[in-house]
Chains A and B, each alone.
Chain A
Amino acid sequence: MTFKEMNAGVMLLSAVVISVWVLMGAVGDPGATVPEVAARLCWAMLASVAFNIVAMIVFAILVSIAQGQELKDERADERDHAVSARAMRNGYVVASAGGAAAIFLWAFGFDFTVGIYVLFGGLMLAGATDAASRLYYYRIG
């Protein structure tokens, strides 16, 4: 496993963990106001950053031990740029769909907080799509 593949795996794991956390919060407190939901999502973003940092360190150590050599990031070459571009394109499509879905929900009179959750969920799903796409393109081509 390369550093870039591990990075994509950690991003995917982070998106799943944070999404589940936010979803559990939303289900547990359905009557939350907009400021309460916004504050919860702010914490989720901070938690996502912290989770990524800690998970990267932990997984880098674990993968290094498993492979018997230090896992180092290499300078990106043309294939890395191509993989990155294709993965980001996939992520943008999902993010755009999430944004459109949120606007439609507001347009059809749904509660504002529902749209916020859909928007946030769309962005998390876009991140997961980006990470999964990277793994796919690196592994399968």
Chain B
Amino acid sequence: MGKGQAAISNTIRVLRFNAGEMTQAALAEKVGVTRQTIVAIEQGRYSPSLEVAFRIAAAFGVPLEQVFQWHGQDQ
């Protein structure tokens, strides 16, 4: 939380839209977290654990790097 939020962005909103306007509640149910956690991740206020990140990617059927992008240390 907090420290990593500037360096990590995500495309969850777009992926939800492409997945037939999947709701945050539906994604939360698939991933196994609360809707508030999905909201916080989507807004960049919380960086999830690696496991939850993989679960989110799996929920959309895409690779992890298509969901989360890291912008740190002169990529």
Contacts and interface: CB of A to CB of B under 8 A. Distances in A.
Contacts of B1: 79, 82-83, 86, 137, 141
Interface residues of B, number: 15
Interface of B: prevailing SS: loop
Contacts of B2: 141
Interface of A: prevailing SS: helix
A138 interface: yes
| Chain A contact patch, size range | 10 to 19
Contacts of B36: 2, 79, 138
Contacts of A70: none
Given A141-B2, A141-B40, A78 B45 contact: no
Interface of B: 1-2, 5, 32-34, 36-37, 40, 43, 45-46, 48-49, 52
